[in-house]
Amino acid sequence: MANYNTMEIMICVAARELEDGATVGVGTGAPCAAAMLAQKTHSPNLVIMFEAGGVSPILPEMPISVGDSRTFYRAVMASSMCDIMDTCSRGLVDYTFLGGAQIDMYGNLNSTIIGEDYRKPKVRFPGSGGANDFASFCWRTIVMTLQDGRRFVEKVDFITTPGWLAGGDSRVNSGLPPGTGPYKIITNMGIMDFEPRSKRMRAVSVNPGYSFQHIQDNCGFELLQAKDTLQTEPPTEEELRILREEVDPYRYVIGR
């Protein structure tokens, strides 16, 4: 029987993507937990940045918002949203974490509406916030989401946040900085990246207890599959100890 839950494996997998010395723009919740875990394990020099202005804090515990005073605790700088977005646009932020109500095969995200009529949607969501800015200018965008056919759709109802747009060279041709774009999709079932030429989503690793077919059955479009699909390494005892005791002892995130 597994000794970890869905949220814990997603956070541990995401934390492994953040190398020492990198810069990462995060929000609250699972992305923040992943950054904190990385900082407390293999990336002590990870620079964590919050949209509201906190730069490289030593987080004492899980903040509840991007403007929480804890996001400035022992920080290198207490700046502002303008400073953070300016830093992204100057190409100084390596990673960002995002999510959304829908994602398509090219990594475009929708967090605006469900439905065809913008003025009378079936569901209206909060919108971009800083997501469009982060995904447009940070080098690598990581998405953390549950694997669900309603989320993974052939075409998003609204592009809130640009991925690879229509695939191929369409992103760079739109005027967005070359070299930026979606990097990894981390779900409860596996890990996806994007095929280099077509920019279509492909499965590269399958989580314990699942198969590629499970991922495909919970996806609204045809997934590509890497030639050598890996088996995701489960969380280690040390990763789980730090996550549960130091990162999220009150189970704000891992208790979901």
What is the model's pLDDT at position 2? 62
Please state whether beta strands 23-26 and 95-98 pair in parallel, antiparallel, or not at all (unpaired).
Answer: parallel
Give pLDDT, residue 28. Answer: 86
- Report yes or no: 35 and 48 within 8 Å, Cβ to Cβ: yes
Catalytic: which of 8, 17, 51, 239?
51
pLDDT of residue 112: 97
Give the number of other CB atoms < 10 A from CB of residue 178.
8
Classify 69 as helix, strand or coil: helix
- Strand 109-110, strand 47-50: pairing: unpaired
Strands (E), 73-157: 77-78, 95-98, 102-103, 109-110, 113-114, 123-124, 140-144
Give the DSSP letter of residue 207. -
32-46 tens-digit pLDDT: 999 999 999 999 999
Residue 53: the pLDDT is: 95
Domain ranges of the chain: 6-247
- What was the pLDDT predicted at 60? 87
- Cα dihedral 57, 237, 20, 132, rounded to 10, equals -70
Low-confidence ranges of the chain (pLDDT < 70): 1-2
Q: In what order do the strands lie in the sheet with 47-50?
A: 77-78, 54-55, 47-50, 23-26, 95-98, 140-144, 181-186, 190-194, 201-206, 224-231
pTM score of the predicted model: 0.95
Name the CATH architecture for the domain at 6-247. Answer: 3-Layer(aba) Sandwich (3.40)
DSSP 3-state of 40: helix
Question: So what's the pLDDT on residue 61?
Answer: 87
DSSP class of 171: H
154 is catalytic: no
pLDDT of residue 47: 97
Residues 69 and 63: their CA atoms lie apart, in Å, by 8
Tally: H helices and E strands in the chain = 7, 14
Residue 1, pLDDT score = 44
